[in-house]
Amino acid sequence: MKVTAMNNSILKQSLRERRKSIFFWGIGVFAYALFVGLLYPSIEGIEGFAQISEELPEGVQALLGEIGDITSPTGYLAAELYGFTLPLLLSILGIGYGANTLTKEERSGTVELLLASPVSRRNIIRQKALAVFLTIFSAGFAVWLGIAISTLIVDFDVSLLRVALATLAATLVAVAFGMISFMISALRGQKGLAIGITTVLFVVSYFSNTLAPLVDAIKPLQNASLLHYYDALDILTYGLSYWQASVAVIVGLLAYAISMIGYEDRDIGV
């Protein structure tokens, strides 16, 4: 009896095809994280910085997010990297690759080679989604590595476990946005549409989260914002709660499930 192959050839091929991009993204975010870590001693020594951040108007504080004492290692990391920059960078990577991995095969026509083989569409989705996850995850790991190495070079006293948890949380947020982008591309086969809608979602998510404390009308939206469940300072200070992590995981899994169902029923390559 013939059996359907359940190997990971498509995953390997997808990662191999993207290896240069994965490498340069990794180098880029690693270098950025390393410099953030290495620059900490020069921030630490600035007197009155903590006072300035406390005296900022409420509106500006809301826009910047809760950053705490910027001269403390956790406050500094939250302000310079984890609060906004890291989820933004990883989400850009996730949204772009999530939109591209299926649609590139469709645009170029190589998807016909996959579909003409004894591979189920669900298997294609499984492997392509895993490629998106691993791509974002590898960039997240490079960030953690950059911080970890900086602590060996300069006096930067942070818990590498909590830095890892914050990196994981940012990665999960990016994976969730990446999977939403992936889902739209699986349902519609259009890269531009997937990037456009998911980018708007990210922007709305960011502003609804940051402006909610200032504008009552936005408050109901805040709970729907993925970024609302990502509090970098809190994670860097106290660790990651299951609740914080689970929202991004649930959104990511839901988008993955819808991708499976939608891709199964769609006419492809028309």
Partner 1 sequence: MKQPLTLTNFTKKYGASIGAHDISLQVKPGEVFGFLGPNGAGKTTTIRAILNFIKPTSGSISLFGKDSVTDSVAVKHDIGYLAGDIALYGHMNGKELLEYIASLGKKVDWKYVDQLADQLKAQLDRPIKDLSKGNKQKIGLMQAFMHKPALILLDEPTSGLDPLMQQVFYDIVEEAQREGRSIFISSHNLQEVQRLCTRAAFIREGKLIAIEEIGESHRLNYRRYMITFKKQPNQDELESIESVSDVSVHKNQARVTVTGQPNKFLRALSKYDVLDLGEEEVHLEDMFMHYYEGDSNE
Q: Which amino acid is at 251?
A: V
Single out the residue of 52, 54, 56, 110 in contact with partner 1 (rule: CB under 8 A): 110
The smaller minimum CB distance to partner 1, of residues 45 and 109, is found at 109
Residues 121-150 contacting partner 1, CB under 8 A: none
CB of 76 closer than 8 Å to CB of 43: yes
Single out the residue of 31, 51, 112, 153 in contact with partner 1 (rule: CB under 8 A): 112
* Cα within 13 Å of Cα(204), Cβ side: 13
Give the other-Cβ count within 10 Å of 262's Cβ: 17
Q: Kindly state whether residue 9 participates in binding partner 1, applying the rule CB under 8 A.
A: yes
The smaller minimum CB distance to partner 1, of residues 48 and 118, is found at 118
Per-residue b/e over 5-43, b at no fewer than 16 CB within 10 Å?
eeeeebbeebbeebeeebeebbeebbebbbebbbebeeb
Q: State the binding string over 248-267 for partner 1 (x if CB under 8 A, else -).
A: -----------------x-x
Q: Kindly state whether residue 21 participates in binding partner 1, applying the rule CB under 8 A.
A: no
Q: Which stretch binds partner 1 (CB under 8 A): 5-13, 136-144, 183-191, 220-228?
A: 5-13
Single out the residue of 115, 211, 254, 261 in contact with partner 1 (rule: CB under 8 A): 115
Compute φ and ψ for 76, nearest 5 degrees: -65, -45
The smaller minimum CB distance to partner 1, of residues 42 and 108, is found at 108
206 token code pair? 């960011």
The smaller minimum CB distance to partner 1, of residues 60 and 116, is found at 116
CB of 132 closer than 8 Å to CB of 256: no
The smaller minimum CB distance to partner 1, of residues 21 and 159, is found at 21
Compute φ and ψ for 189, nearest 5 degrees: 70, 20
Q: Which positions lie near partner 1, rule CB under 8 A? A: 2, 4-5, 7, 9-10, 13, 17, 108-110, 112-120, 265, 267-270
